[in-house]
């Protein structure tokens, strides 16, 4: 992957990033070159394995590009991982080097941090034993994370794919990104696409509603907001947002957008929420950025998706997983997404219906947890909802007014769901636990643990 040609080429004075201050291509090229030489001084060469464990920052951007410029393998570790999680990742992959923060802060609601970094040589580290340029971990929203590899060719193809997606932001746009730079949406759809096309990527210093809206209000060219639905939920509840005349589009990924949010956001900002569907294993797979075909999505250029027994499958010549591949996930050139969905035979558009593992049996009767969850999310006063099955159906919700309890929610469900579909219990939490990429956690044990730390409903 030619980092200089793909992401750093262009006029030195062209601003490509904006944190507290603008960063032009000339400065970025200088920083990347300095980080590459530091890696090489530590002993990193082509084929070396380098774990990058930095918070979102200019240091993070320069380091990831420097690893690739050195032809080494970048292993991305989310800065929010616990020490236990980091140690587990390092033990599983045994990289030769780790780039760690110097001066990182632990304050929440930060879109970026002001940090330096240091290169640490790790004992017993081994060079990359595959040709993957990028190694990431799946979200872990339903269980242990999987190790996923992307080759340089994969990444180049995806960056070019974005340029072929109708209405995706490029030159002449500002992209206000709330998506994690460690995950595929923020890394490729945000950072790499912006560097490649010349869009200006903006990371808000504060990711609360005030900080986000300030960035949108101060836009100097058409602005696009990139994030996950839970972040847009907060914006939709702002009663009197400032004028945002250049706010053009919001784009989300990671989970389905409920109808109430889609409508309320359009009412509040005059902006439709565009939807992207993808996986860490393959990047962006389908989109509907204009909202014209909601809930159907157009398959992204270069991808082929089919439905088999109600599951969406993506053509993928090689397994994306490092280590032994589970044939239940990839075999015969097809990746099983574990998402339920359909493909329209006339238009080729797909409709994602939620996780396939949401189909459970209750007393011999089939229940779709997605149906229950969607209905629950639309209940008055509910801002977030997750439904799981651990021998019984259980629901976890966040409420606009947590003093009201769950009685009203349970009455709402009684009028709309058959008894066998209803949750045995509805538990209220201050906020639903989420993965580092912003996806709601659907692991029953993790949700029960979160409930044990909260007031009982």
Whole-number Å distance between alpha carbons of 231 and 164: 27
Token pair recorded at residue 238:
């702002």
Pairing of strands 49-52, 73-76: parallel
Q: Which residue would you say has higher pLDDT here, 438 or 245? A: 245
- Under the banding of pLDDT at 50, 70 and 90, the label for residue 404 is low
Instruction: Report whether pLDDT(430) > 70.
Output: yes
Task: Find out whether 22 and 39 touch, Cβ atoms under 8 Å.
Answer: no
Report whether pLDDT(330) > 80: yes
> How far are the Cα atoms of 50, 94, 127, 144, 447 from residue 279, in angstroms, in the given order?
23, 25, 26, 16, 23
DSSP 250-318: EEE-SSPPPHHHHHHHHHHHS-PEEEEEEETTTEEEEEESS-TTTT-BEEPTT--EEEETTEEEEE-SS
Does position 78 have pLDDT exceeding 70, yes or no?
Answer: yes
**pLDDT for residue 402:** 66
Q: 31 versus 415: which is more confidently predicted?
A: 31
CA distance 216 to 322: 40
Is 192 or 420 the better-scoring residue by pLDDT?
Answer: 192
Decide if pLDDT at 363 tops 80.
no
pLDDT at position 80 is: 80
Whether the CB-CB separation of 360 and 394 falls below 8 Å is answered with no
The secondary structure of residue 321, as a DSSP letter, is: B
Of 87-91, 137-141, 179-183, 258-262, the range with the lowest mean pLDDT is 137-141
Mean pLDDT, residues 344-362? 87
Mean pLDDT (the chain, rounded): 91
DSSP secondary-structure letter at 94? -
Higher pLDDT, 330 or 420: 330
CA 339, CA 349: separation in Å to the nearest integer?
15
**Each residue's pLDDT tens digit, 260-314:** 899 999 999 999 999 999 999 999 999 999 989 999 999 999 999 999 999 999 9
Label residue 457 by pLDDT band (50, 70, 90): very low
Instruction: Give the pLDDT confidence score for residue 453 in this predicted structure.
Output: 75
Distance CA(115)–CA(109), nearest Å, equals 16
Which of 127, 139, 235 shows the shortest CA–CA distance to 178? 235
Question: Tens digit of pLDDT for each residue in 151-172?
Answer: 999 999 999 999 999 999 999 9
Predicted pLDDT at 144? 59
What is residue 108's predicted lDDT score, i.e. its pLDDT? 66
Residue 367 pLDDT more than 90? no
* pLDDT-wise least confident of 55-64, 198-207, 434-443: 434-443
Question: Which domains can be identified in the chain, with CATH numbers?
Answer: 3-129 (3.40.50.980), 161-357 (3.40.50.12780), 363-452 (3.30.300.30)
The number of beta carbons lying within 10 Å of the beta carbon of residue 4 is 12
Task: Report pLDDT for 4.
Answer: 95
pLDDT surpassing 90 at residue 426: yes
* Residue 30, φ and ψ in degrees, nearest 5: -65, -45
Task: Return the beta strands (E) in 57-187 as ranges.
Answer: 73-76, 97-102, 116-121, 132-137, 147-151, 174-177
Output DSSP code: residue 358.
G
Please tell me the least confidently modeled range out of 103-107, 235-239, 419-423. 103-107
């Amino acid at each position: 992957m030619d980092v200089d040609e793909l992401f750093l080429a262009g006029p030195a004075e062209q601003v490509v990033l904006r944190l507290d201050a603008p960063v032009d291509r000339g400065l970025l090229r200088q920083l990347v070159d300095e980080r590459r030489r530091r890696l090489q001084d530590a002993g990193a060469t082509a084929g070396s394995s380098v774990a990058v464990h930095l918070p979102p920052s200019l240091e993070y951007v320069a380091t990831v590009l420097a690893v690739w410029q050195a032809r080494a393998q970048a292993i991305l570790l989310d800065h929010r991982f616990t020490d236990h999680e980091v140690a587990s990742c390092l033990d599983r992959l045994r990289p030769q080097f780790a780039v760690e923060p110097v001066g990182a802060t632990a304050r929440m609601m930060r879109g970026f941090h002001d940090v330096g970094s240091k290169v640490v040589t790790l004992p017993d580290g081994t060079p990359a034993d595959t040709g993957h340029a990028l190694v990431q971990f799946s979200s872990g929203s339903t269980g242990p994370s999987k190790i996923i590899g992307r080759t340089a060719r994969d990444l180049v193809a995806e960056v070019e794919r974005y340029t072929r997606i109708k209405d995706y932001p490029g030159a002449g746009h500002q992209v206000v990104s709330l998506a994690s730079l460690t995950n595929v949406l923020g890394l490729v759809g945000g950072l790499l696409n912006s560097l490649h096309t010349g869009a200006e990527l903006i990371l808000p210093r504060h990711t609360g509603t005030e900080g986000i809206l300030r960035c949108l209000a101060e836009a100097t060219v058409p602005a696009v907001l990139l994030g996950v639905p839970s972040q847009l939920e907060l914006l939709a509840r702002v009663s009197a947002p400032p004028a945002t005349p250049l706010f053009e589009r919001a784009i989300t990924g990671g989970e389905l957008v409920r109808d109430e949010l889609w409508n309320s956001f359009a009412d509040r900002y005059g902006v439709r929420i565009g939807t992207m569907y993808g996986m860490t294993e393959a990047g962006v797979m389908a989109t509907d950025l204009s909202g014209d075909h909601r809930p159907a999505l157009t398959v992204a250029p270069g991808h082929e998706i089919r439905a088999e027994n109600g599951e969406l499958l993506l053509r993928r010549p090689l397994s994306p997983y490092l280590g032994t591949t589970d044939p239940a996930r990839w075999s015969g050139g097809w990746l099983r997404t574990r998402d339920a969905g359909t493909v329209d035979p006339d238009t080729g558009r797909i409709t994602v219906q939620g996780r396939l593992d949401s189909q459970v049996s209750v007393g011999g009767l089939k229940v779709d947890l997605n149906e229950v969850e969607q209905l629950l999310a639309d209940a008055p006063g509910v801002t977030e909802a997750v439904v799981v099955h651990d021998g019984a159906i259980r629901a976890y919700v966040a409420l606009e007014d947590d003093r009201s309890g769950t009685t009203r929610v349970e009455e709402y469900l009684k009028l709309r769901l058959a008894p066998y579909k209803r949750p045995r219990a509805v538990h209220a939490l201050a906020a639903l636990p989420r993965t580092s990429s912003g996806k709601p956690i659907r692991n029953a044990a993790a949700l029960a643990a979160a409930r044990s730390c909260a007031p009982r409903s």
